[in-house]
Amino acid sequence: MEPRILVLDGNQRASLAAVRSLGSKGLWVAVGESSEASLAGVSRFCRTTLTYPDPFSSPRLFFEELRQQILELGISFLLPITEATTYVLLRYRDELPEQVILPFPDGQTVEQFANKNELFKLAKELNVPVPETIFCLSLDDGLKALDNIDSYPLVLKPYKSKILQQDSILSTQVSVVRSREEAKAVLAKYPYFDFPFTLQSFIEGSGQGIFALFDHGEPVCYFAHKRLREKPPGGGVSVLSESAPVNQQLKDSADKLLRSVRWHGVAMVEFRVAADGTGYLMEVNPRFWGSLQLAIDSGIDFPWLLYLISIGKSVPQTGWQHRRMRWLLGDLDRLYLVLKAPASTYSMTEKLIEILRFMTPGPRTRHEVNRWHDLRPFWFELKQYILALRR
Protein backbone atom coordinates (compact mmCIF):
# COMPACT_ATOMS: atom_id res chain seq x y z
CA MET A 1 0.00 0.00 0.00
CA GLU A 2 1.24 3.49 -0.88
CA PRO A 3 2.54 5.34 2.20
CA ARG A 4 0.41 8.30 3.20
CA ILE A 5 1.87 11.17 5.19
CA LEU A 6 -0.03 13.78 7.19
CA VAL A 7 1.77 17.00 8.16
CA LEU A 8 -0.02 19.02 10.84
CA ASP A 9 0.11 22.74 11.71
CA GLY A 10 -0.17 23.82 8.09
CA ASN A 11 0.28 27.53 8.77
CA GLN A 12 3.83 27.01 10.05
CA ARG A 13 6.66 27.71 7.63
CA ALA A 14 8.39 24.54 8.86
CA SER A 15 5.28 22.61 7.77
CA LEU A 16 5.61 24.06 4.29
CA ALA A 17 9.28 23.02 4.21
CA ALA A 18 8.36 19.47 5.27
CA VAL A 19 5.58 19.20 2.67
CA ARG A 20 7.87 20.41 -0.11
CA SER A 21 10.61 18.04 1.00
CA LEU A 22 8.47 14.90 1.19
CA GLY A 23 6.16 15.76 -1.70
CA SER A 24 9.09 16.39 -4.04
CA LYS A 25 10.19 12.77 -3.41
CA GLY A 26 6.92 11.58 -4.93
CA LEU A 27 5.31 10.77 -1.57
CA TRP A 28 1.59 11.30 -0.95
CA VAL A 29 1.31 14.18 1.55
CA ALA A 30 -1.75 15.72 3.20
CA VAL A 31 -1.83 18.84 5.38
CA GLY A 32 -3.93 19.50 8.47
CA GLU A 33 -4.69 22.77 10.25
CA SER A 34 -7.38 24.24 12.48
CA SER A 35 -8.29 26.71 9.70
CA GLU A 36 -9.79 25.73 6.35
CA ALA A 37 -6.88 27.09 4.31
CA SER A 38 -3.21 27.11 5.27
CA LEU A 39 0.25 28.05 4.00
CA ALA A 40 1.39 24.46 3.44
CA GLY A 41 -2.06 23.33 2.36
CA VAL A 42 -1.94 25.39 -0.86
CA SER A 43 1.43 23.96 -1.90
CA ARG A 44 1.48 21.99 -5.16
CA PHE A 45 3.00 19.12 -3.17
CA CYS A 46 -0.07 18.77 -0.95
CA ARG A 47 -2.55 16.14 -2.20
CA THR A 48 -5.41 16.99 0.16
CA THR A 49 -6.16 19.03 3.26
CA LEU A 50 -8.13 18.45 6.43
CA THR A 51 -9.40 20.63 9.24
CA TYR A 52 -9.43 19.81 12.95
CA PRO A 53 -10.50 21.59 16.16
CA ASP A 54 -8.05 23.99 17.79
CA PRO A 55 -5.81 21.86 20.05
CA PHE A 56 -5.32 24.80 22.44
CA SER A 57 -8.99 25.07 23.37
CA SER A 58 -10.03 21.42 22.90
CA PRO A 59 -7.07 18.99 23.05
CA ARG A 60 -9.19 15.86 23.40
CA LEU A 61 -11.66 16.85 20.69
CA PHE A 62 -8.72 17.72 18.43
CA PHE A 63 -7.32 14.22 18.89
CA GLU A 64 -10.62 12.39 18.42
CA GLU A 65 -11.49 14.16 15.17
CA LEU A 66 -7.93 13.84 13.88
CA ARG A 67 -7.92 10.11 14.63
CA GLN A 68 -11.13 9.66 12.63
CA GLN A 69 -9.64 11.48 9.64
CA ILE A 70 -6.45 9.42 9.91
CA LEU A 71 -8.57 6.28 9.61
CA GLU A 72 -10.56 7.64 6.66
CA LEU A 73 -7.44 8.70 4.73
CA GLY A 74 -5.34 5.65 5.63
CA ILE A 75 -2.50 7.76 7.05
CA SER A 76 0.66 5.78 7.85
CA PHE A 77 3.07 8.55 8.92
CA LEU A 78 2.05 11.46 11.15
CA LEU A 79 4.21 14.55 11.50
CA PRO A 80 3.17 17.26 14.01
CA ILE A 81 5.23 20.45 13.78
CA THR A 82 4.33 22.48 16.89
CA GLU A 83 4.68 21.58 20.55
CA ALA A 84 0.92 21.83 21.06
CA THR A 85 -0.04 19.14 18.55
CA THR A 86 3.01 17.05 19.46
CA TYR A 87 2.19 16.90 23.18
CA VAL A 88 -1.48 16.06 22.57
CA LEU A 89 -0.57 13.23 20.20
CA LEU A 90 1.99 11.84 22.62
CA ARG A 91 -0.54 11.87 25.47
CA TYR A 92 -3.02 9.78 23.44
CA ARG A 93 -0.46 7.89 21.37
CA ASP A 94 -1.81 4.46 22.40
CA GLU A 95 -5.14 5.31 20.80
CA LEU A 96 -3.70 5.96 17.34
CA PRO A 97 -4.30 3.29 14.66
CA GLU A 98 -1.58 0.60 14.71
CA GLN A 99 -0.24 1.42 11.26
CA VAL A 100 0.53 5.06 12.12
CA ILE A 101 4.17 5.97 12.70
CA LEU A 102 4.67 8.91 15.08
CA PRO A 103 8.42 9.69 14.85
CA PHE A 104 9.16 10.36 18.51
CA PRO A 105 10.57 8.38 21.42
CA ASP A 106 8.18 7.33 24.18
CA GLY A 107 6.25 10.00 26.05
CA GLN A 108 8.35 9.68 29.21
CA THR A 109 11.54 10.46 27.26
CA VAL A 110 9.96 13.49 25.60
CA GLU A 111 8.68 14.62 29.01
CA GLN A 112 12.21 14.50 30.42
CA PHE A 113 13.25 17.14 27.88
CA ALA A 114 10.00 19.13 27.70
CA ASN A 115 10.03 19.53 31.50
CA LYS A 116 12.82 22.08 31.91
CA ASN A 117 13.20 21.34 35.63
CA GLU A 118 13.98 17.70 34.82
CA LEU A 119 16.12 18.71 31.84
CA PHE A 120 18.39 20.93 33.92
CA LYS A 121 18.80 18.23 36.55
CA LEU A 122 19.82 15.76 33.83
CA ALA A 123 22.21 18.30 32.30
CA LYS A 124 23.94 18.79 35.65
CA GLU A 125 24.39 15.02 36.01
CA LEU A 126 26.00 14.93 32.55
CA ASN A 127 28.22 17.98 33.21
CA VAL A 128 26.47 20.02 30.53
CA PRO A 129 26.77 23.71 31.51
CA VAL A 130 23.56 25.31 32.81
CA PRO A 131 23.02 28.72 34.44
CA GLU A 132 22.89 28.85 38.23
CA THR A 133 19.46 27.41 38.93
CA ILE A 134 16.99 27.30 41.81
CA PHE A 135 14.19 24.76 41.35
CA CYS A 136 10.76 25.85 42.55
CA LEU A 137 7.77 23.55 42.86
CA SER A 138 5.26 26.28 43.64
CA LEU A 139 4.70 30.02 43.76
CA ASP A 140 5.48 30.05 47.49
CA ASP A 141 8.84 28.35 46.82
CA GLY A 142 9.71 31.09 44.35
CA LEU A 143 8.70 33.96 46.62
CA LYS A 144 10.78 32.52 49.48
CA ALA A 145 13.78 32.01 47.20
CA LEU A 146 13.65 35.62 46.00
CA ASP A 147 14.26 36.87 49.53
CA ASN A 148 17.78 35.39 49.33
CA ILE A 149 18.65 36.58 45.81
CA ASP A 150 20.52 39.85 45.32
CA SER A 151 21.99 39.31 41.84
CA TYR A 152 19.98 40.62 38.88
CA PRO A 153 18.91 40.36 36.07
CA LEU A 154 17.18 37.07 36.85
CA VAL A 155 15.35 34.68 34.53
CA LEU A 156 11.96 33.25 35.54
CA LYS A 157 11.46 30.11 33.48
CA PRO A 158 8.23 28.04 33.56
CA TYR A 159 8.83 24.31 33.54
CA LYS A 160 7.16 23.97 30.13
CA SER A 161 6.50 26.28 27.22
CA LYS A 162 3.13 24.57 26.64
CA ILE A 163 1.28 23.07 29.63
CA LEU A 164 -1.23 20.47 28.51
CA GLN A 165 -4.27 20.47 30.79
CA GLN A 166 -7.40 18.36 30.58
CA ASP A 167 -9.44 20.83 28.55
CA SER A 168 -6.90 23.35 27.24
CA ILE A 169 -3.24 24.14 26.57
CA LEU A 170 -1.65 26.94 28.58
CA SER A 171 1.10 28.88 26.80
CA THR A 172 3.91 30.28 28.93
CA GLN A 173 6.81 32.64 28.42
CA VAL A 174 10.21 33.23 29.94
CA SER A 175 10.60 36.54 31.82
CA VAL A 176 13.80 38.47 32.50
CA VAL A 177 13.47 40.71 35.56
CA ARG A 178 15.83 43.33 36.99
CA SER A 179 14.72 43.61 40.60
CA ARG A 180 13.12 41.59 43.40
CA GLU A 181 10.00 43.74 43.16
CA GLU A 182 9.66 43.12 39.42
CA ALA A 183 10.19 39.38 39.96
CA LYS A 184 7.42 39.20 42.56
CA ALA A 185 5.07 41.16 40.30
CA VAL A 186 5.69 38.75 37.39
CA LEU A 187 5.18 35.70 39.59
CA ALA A 188 1.88 37.10 40.81
CA LYS A 189 0.69 38.10 37.35
CA TYR A 190 0.90 34.84 35.38
CA PRO A 191 -1.08 31.71 36.31
CA TYR A 192 1.58 29.34 34.97
CA PHE A 193 3.80 30.14 37.95
CA ASP A 194 1.37 28.05 39.99
CA PHE A 195 3.16 25.14 38.29
CA PRO A 196 6.87 24.29 38.83
CA PHE A 197 9.46 26.73 37.47
CA THR A 198 13.09 27.76 37.85
CA LEU A 199 14.94 30.91 38.85
CA GLN A 200 18.11 31.20 36.78
CA SER A 201 21.02 33.59 36.51
CA PHE A 202 21.01 35.63 33.31
CA ILE A 203 23.75 34.72 30.82
CA GLU A 204 25.11 37.62 28.79
CA GLY A 205 25.76 36.32 25.29
CA SER A 206 24.14 35.15 22.08
CA GLY A 207 21.59 32.45 21.42
CA GLN A 208 22.75 29.51 19.31
CA GLY A 209 21.01 26.29 18.38
CA ILE A 210 22.06 22.79 17.42
CA PHE A 211 19.60 20.89 15.24
CA ALA A 212 19.87 17.12 15.28
CA LEU A 213 18.36 13.91 13.99
CA PHE A 214 18.84 10.72 16.04
CA ASP A 215 17.98 7.13 15.27
CA HIS A 216 17.28 5.27 18.55
CA GLY A 217 20.13 6.94 20.41
CA GLU A 218 22.58 7.27 17.51
CA PRO A 219 23.20 10.58 15.71
CA VAL A 220 22.32 10.76 12.02
CA CYS A 221 23.17 14.40 11.32
CA TYR A 222 23.60 17.83 12.88
CA PHE A 223 23.00 21.33 11.53
CA ALA A 224 23.56 24.89 12.71
CA HIS A 225 22.73 28.32 11.39
CA LYS A 226 23.57 31.93 12.12
CA ARG A 227 20.88 34.57 12.52
CA LEU A 228 21.67 37.67 10.46
CA ARG A 229 18.45 39.61 11.00
CA GLU A 230 15.61 39.09 13.45
CA LYS A 231 12.09 40.38 13.97
CA PRO A 232 11.87 42.37 16.20
CA PRO A 233 15.40 43.72 15.62
CA GLY A 234 16.38 43.31 19.30
CA GLY A 235 15.92 39.55 19.11
CA GLY A 236 13.14 37.28 17.95
CA VAL A 237 12.24 35.25 14.88
CA SER A 238 14.97 34.88 12.27
CA VAL A 239 14.13 36.61 8.97
CA LEU A 240 17.56 36.32 7.34
CA SER A 241 19.87 33.44 8.26
CA GLU A 242 22.73 31.41 6.87
CA SER A 243 24.05 27.91 7.44
CA ALA A 244 27.13 27.72 9.64
CA PRO A 245 29.68 25.19 10.93
CA VAL A 246 28.47 23.25 13.95
CA ASN A 247 30.08 24.49 17.17
CA GLN A 248 31.95 21.48 18.58
CA GLN A 249 31.33 22.28 22.26
CA LEU A 250 27.60 22.74 21.68
CA LYS A 251 27.49 19.58 19.60
CA ASP A 252 29.21 17.62 22.38
CA SER A 253 26.68 18.90 24.92
CA ALA A 254 23.73 18.09 22.65
CA ASP A 255 25.21 14.66 21.95
CA LYS A 256 25.51 13.86 25.67
CA LEU A 257 21.90 14.81 26.32
CA LEU A 258 20.38 13.02 23.34
CA ARG A 259 22.42 9.84 23.71
CA SER A 260 21.65 9.63 27.44
CA VAL A 261 17.92 9.07 26.76
CA ARG A 262 18.31 7.14 23.47
CA TRP A 263 16.60 9.94 21.60
CA HIS A 264 14.73 9.14 18.39
CA GLY A 265 13.68 11.79 15.88
CA VAL A 266 14.53 15.47 15.54
CA ALA A 267 15.52 17.82 18.33
CA MET A 268 16.38 21.49 18.61
CA VAL A 269 18.87 22.10 21.43
CA GLU A 270 19.15 25.77 22.39
CA PHE A 271 22.13 27.36 24.13
CA ARG A 272 23.23 30.77 25.34
CA VAL A 273 26.90 31.26 24.50
CA ALA A 274 28.82 33.52 26.90
CA ALA A 275 31.77 35.74 25.97
CA ASP A 276 34.24 33.03 27.06
CA GLY A 277 32.67 30.58 24.59
CA THR A 278 30.82 28.47 27.16
CA GLY A 279 27.46 27.28 25.87
CA TYR A 280 24.83 27.18 28.62
CA LEU A 281 21.83 24.94 27.97
CA MET A 282 18.52 26.79 27.64
CA GLU A 283 16.04 24.17 26.39
CA VAL A 284 15.44 21.16 24.15
CA ASN A 285 12.45 21.10 21.80
CA PRO A 286 11.31 17.80 20.23
CA ARG A 287 10.19 19.36 16.96
CA PHE A 288 11.26 21.00 13.72
CA TRP A 289 12.47 24.58 13.88
CA GLY A 290 11.56 27.76 12.01
CA SER A 291 14.59 27.69 9.68
CA LEU A 292 14.02 24.10 8.52
CA GLN A 293 14.01 25.16 4.86
CA LEU A 294 17.55 26.53 5.26
CA ALA A 295 18.83 23.12 6.39
CA ILE A 296 17.14 21.47 3.38
CA ASP A 297 18.61 24.07 1.00
CA SER A 298 22.03 23.50 2.57
CA GLY A 299 21.93 19.79 1.75
CA ILE A 300 20.55 18.26 4.96
CA ASP A 301 16.98 17.23 4.20
CA PHE A 302 15.74 16.55 7.73
CA PRO A 303 12.10 15.61 6.86
CA TRP A 304 13.22 13.07 4.25
CA LEU A 305 15.91 11.62 6.52
CA LEU A 306 13.43 11.39 9.40
CA TYR A 307 10.99 9.55 7.16
CA LEU A 308 13.71 7.11 6.02
CA ILE A 309 14.83 6.15 9.53
CA SER A 310 11.20 5.86 10.64
CA ILE A 311 10.47 3.18 8.03
CA GLY A 312 13.77 1.39 8.64
CA LYS A 313 15.58 2.50 5.48
CA SER A 314 19.26 3.43 5.30
CA VAL A 315 20.06 7.12 4.95
CA PRO A 316 22.46 8.70 2.48
CA GLN A 317 25.60 10.50 3.59
CA THR A 318 24.93 14.14 4.35
CA GLY A 319 27.11 17.22 4.10
CA TRP A 320 26.18 20.86 4.24
CA GLN A 321 26.84 23.74 1.86
CA HIS A 322 26.76 27.41 2.73
CA ARG A 323 23.39 28.96 1.93
CA ARG A 324 21.37 31.98 2.98
CA MET A 325 17.61 32.09 3.44
CA ARG A 326 15.23 35.00 3.76
CA TRP A 327 11.65 35.17 4.97
CA LEU A 328 10.66 38.13 2.80
CA LEU A 329 7.52 39.36 4.56
CA GLY A 330 9.13 38.90 7.97
CA ASP A 331 12.11 40.92 6.78
CA LEU A 332 9.75 43.60 5.50
CA ASP A 333 8.10 43.74 8.93
CA ARG A 334 11.51 44.10 10.54
CA LEU A 335 12.40 47.00 8.23
CA TYR A 336 9.13 48.73 9.13
CA LEU A 337 9.95 48.40 12.85
CA VAL A 338 13.40 49.91 12.25
CA LEU A 339 12.06 52.83 10.20
CA LYS A 340 9.38 53.76 12.73
CA ALA A 341 11.78 53.51 15.69
CA PRO A 342 12.76 56.81 17.37
CA ALA A 343 16.01 58.54 16.43
CA SER A 344 17.45 57.57 19.81
CA THR A 345 17.29 53.92 18.69
CA TYR A 346 18.18 54.25 14.99
CA SER A 347 19.65 57.41 13.46
CA MET A 348 18.61 58.51 9.96
CA THR A 349 21.92 57.20 8.61
CA GLU A 350 21.35 53.81 10.26
CA LYS A 351 17.84 53.66 8.82
CA LEU A 352 19.16 54.36 5.30
CA ILE A 353 21.74 51.60 5.78
CA GLU A 354 18.97 49.20 6.84
CA ILE A 355 17.01 50.04 3.67
CA LEU A 356 20.10 49.28 1.59
CA ARG A 357 20.64 46.00 3.45
CA PHE A 358 17.03 45.03 2.86
CA MET A 359 17.46 45.64 -0.88
CA THR A 360 20.67 43.55 -1.02
CA PRO A 361 20.25 40.38 1.08
CA GLY A 362 23.50 38.86 -0.21
CA PRO A 363 24.63 36.20 -2.68
CA ARG A 364 23.20 32.67 -2.73
CA THR A 365 20.12 33.86 -0.81
CA ARG A 366 16.89 31.98 -1.42
CA HIS A 367 13.44 33.03 -0.34
CA GLU A 368 11.86 30.72 2.21
CA VAL A 369 8.24 30.89 1.06
CA ASN A 370 8.17 32.39 -2.44
CA ARG A 371 9.66 29.85 -4.85
CA TRP A 372 9.03 29.73 -8.59
CA HIS A 373 8.23 26.01 -8.64
CA ASP A 374 5.61 26.45 -5.89
CA LEU A 375 4.28 30.01 -5.79
CA ARG A 376 0.81 29.50 -4.28
CA PRO A 377 2.07 29.54 -0.66
CA PHE A 378 3.56 33.00 -1.21
CA TRP A 379 0.33 34.37 -2.71
CA PHE A 380 -1.55 32.89 0.26
CA GLU A 381 0.90 34.46 2.72
CA LEU A 382 0.80 37.81 0.92
CA LYS A 383 -3.00 37.85 1.03
CA GLN A 384 -2.99 37.14 4.78
CA TYR A 385 -0.37 39.85 5.26
CA ILE A 386 -2.45 42.46 3.44
CA LEU A 387 -5.61 41.47 5.33
CA ALA A 388 -3.71 41.88 8.62
CA LEU A 389 -2.59 45.37 7.60
CA ARG A 390 -6.19 46.40 6.94
CA ARG A 391 -7.39 45.36 10.40
CATH number of the domain residue 286 falls in: 3.30.470.20
Closest by Cα among 157, 147, 156, 204 to 180: 147
Boundary-marking domain end, from 326, 341, 356 = 326
Residue 111 falls within a domain, yes or no? Answer: no
| Phi, psi dihedral angles at 207 (to 5 degrees) | -80, 135
Are 293 and 262 members of one domain?
A: yes
Q: Are 45 and 35 in contact (CB under 8 A)?
A: no
Are 220 and 195 members of one domain?
A: no
Residue 118 falls within a domain, yes or no? Answer: no
Are 241 and 225 members of one domain?
A: yes
pLDDT tens, the chain, 391 aa long: 789 999 999 999 999 999 999 999 999 999 999 999 999 999 999 999 999 999 999 999 999 999 999 999 999 999 999 999 999 999 999 999 999 999 999 888 998 899 999 999 999 999 999 999 999 999 999 999 998 898 899 999 999 999 988 889 999 999 999 999 999 999 999 999 999 999 999 999 888 999 999 999 999 999 999 999 999 987 788 999 999 999 999 999 999 999 999 999 999 999 999 999 999 999 999 899 989 999 999 999 999 999 999 999 988 888 899 999 999 999 999 999 999 999 989 999 999 999 999 999 888 899 999 999 999 999 999 999 999 888 7
Find the domain containing 262 and state its range. 206-326
Residue 34 falls within a domain, yes or no? Answer: yes
Are 27 and 63 members of one domain?
A: yes
CATH number of the domain residue 192 falls in: 3.30.1490.20
Residue 123 falls within a domain, yes or no? Answer: no
Closest by Cα among 321, 342, 169 to 243: 321
Are 21 and 49 members of one domain?
A: yes
User: How far apart are alpha carbons 179 and 151 in whole angstroms?
Assistant: 9
User: How far apart are alpha carbons 271 and 294 in whole angstroms?
Assistant: 19
Residue 109 falls within a domain, yes or no? Answer: no
Are 322 and 210 members of one domain?
A: yes
Boundary-marking domain end, from 172, 201, 230 = 201
Q: What is the DSSP letter of 239?
A: E
Residue 116 falls within a domain, yes or no? Answer: no
Give every CB contact of residue 335 below 8 A, 6+ residues apart in sequence: 354, 355, 358
> Read out DSSP for 150-162?
---SEEEEES-SE
Number of domains in the chain: 4
Are 50 and 68 members of one domain?
A: yes
User: How far apart are alpha carbons 89 and 63 in whole angstroms?
Assistant: 7
CA distances 10 to 21, 241, 321, Å, are 14, 22, 28
Residue 115 falls within a domain, yes or no? Answer: no
Are 80 and 177 members of one domain?
A: no
Boundary-marking domain end, from 102, 118, 144 = 102
Are 271 and 213 members of one domain?
A: yes
CATH number of the domain residue 56 falls in: 3.40.50.20
Residue 108 falls within a domain, yes or no? Answer: no
Closest by Cα among 346, 263, 340, 272 to 309: 263
Are 141 and 83 members of one domain?
A: no
Are 34 and 71 members of one domain?
A: yes
Are 12 and 64 members of one domain?
A: yes
User: How far apart are alpha carbons 67 and 21 in whole angstroms?
Assistant: 24
